[in-house]
Amino acid sequence: MMGLFSSIFGPNIKKLEKNKDIDGLVKVLKHKDSYYQQSAANALVRIGDESIPGIVIDYLFDESFLFYDKSYTHGKTYIHNNIEYMFGDYVQHIRNVTSKWISCDEVQKLCDINTPVSSNLLYKIAQRKDFERRYSAIVGHSKGYTDDGHTASIPVWENQVENVSLADERSLAREELKRRGNPLYDHSAYLEEDAWKLG
C-alpha cells in the first residue's frame, strides 16, 4: 500500500484527498516541489471541510513551516491563493502575523479586534520564538589584480548571524490576552457561525 509519500513519485495527493486526510495534505504544503504544494492546496479546497482553516493556521505558525526556506515561501503562497476565502475578513491579518518577520503594528491591529479568532492568533504570536538571521556581508577589502595586471580592491565576504528578537511583539500579545482574561487557544472558535467576519 502506498503511504503518504511514494519513494518514486512523491506525495500521493489523490489518496490523501480520497481519505480526506487534511493533516497530511497540509503537511504537503511544505514540500520542496511547488507542483505538490499547489496540488495539495487544491485538494484541500475541494474537500472544503470547516476544520481546514484552523489546521492551516496551526501549520502557518509552526516553526518548521515559518523557517522552511523555499518551501515555506511557496507553500504559504499556495495556501493563501487557494484557501484564503476560508479566512474571510482575517486573510490579510493572517498573512501578516504568520510571516517570519512580524511587527508590533500588525499585532496591535489584532489587539483592536476583540474576537475569539483574534484571541487565538494573539495566543500563537505570544508563543513565537526569537530567531537567527543568517546572511553574508562585506567586512573589508583585499588587494587583488585584474586579468590585465592592474591592482584592484577585492571585497572580503563573511557569513554573519543576527539575533532577531520578537520580545516586543510577544509582550504586546500577552498584555492584550491578559486584558481579555487570558483565554486559552480554542479550535472551536474557528467553527462558530460568522467566525471569520470582523463585524
pLDDT digits (tens, 9 = 90+) for 26-40: 888 878 787 888 888
Band (134; pLDDT cuts 50, 70, 90):
confident
Percent of the chain as helix, strand, coil, to the nearest 5: 55, 15, 30
Q: Quick one: which of 8, 3, 72, 4 has its CA closest to 34?
A: 72
**pLDDT per residue as tens digits for the range 9-59:** 788 999 999 999 988 988 888 787 878 888 888 888 888 888 888 888 888
Q: Quick one: which of 7, 21, 78, 8 has its CA closest to 55?
A: 21
What pLDDT is recorded for position 7?
44
Band (86; pLDDT cuts 50, 70, 90):
confident
Band (100; pLDDT cuts 50, 70, 90):
confident
Ramachandran bin of 101, using left for φ above 0, alpha for ψ from -120 to 50, beta for the remaining angles: beta
What pLDDT is recorded for position 2?
39
**Is 50 exceeded by the pLDDT of residue 70?**
no
What pLDDT is recorded for position 1?
37
What integer is the mean pLDDT of 119-127? 96
Strands 131-145 and 151-164, sheet pairing? antiparallel
Other beta carbons less than 10 A from residue 24's beta carbon = 20
What separation in angstroms does the CA of 174 have from each of 70, 115, 186? 31, 15, 16
Residue type, 160: Q
Q: What is the pTM of this model?
A: 0.74
What pLDDT is recorded for position 149?
78
Mean pLDDT across the chain, nearest whole number?
83
What pLDDT is recorded for position 45?
81
**pLDDT per residue as tens digits for the range 158-189:** 898 888 899 999 999 999 999 999 999 999 99
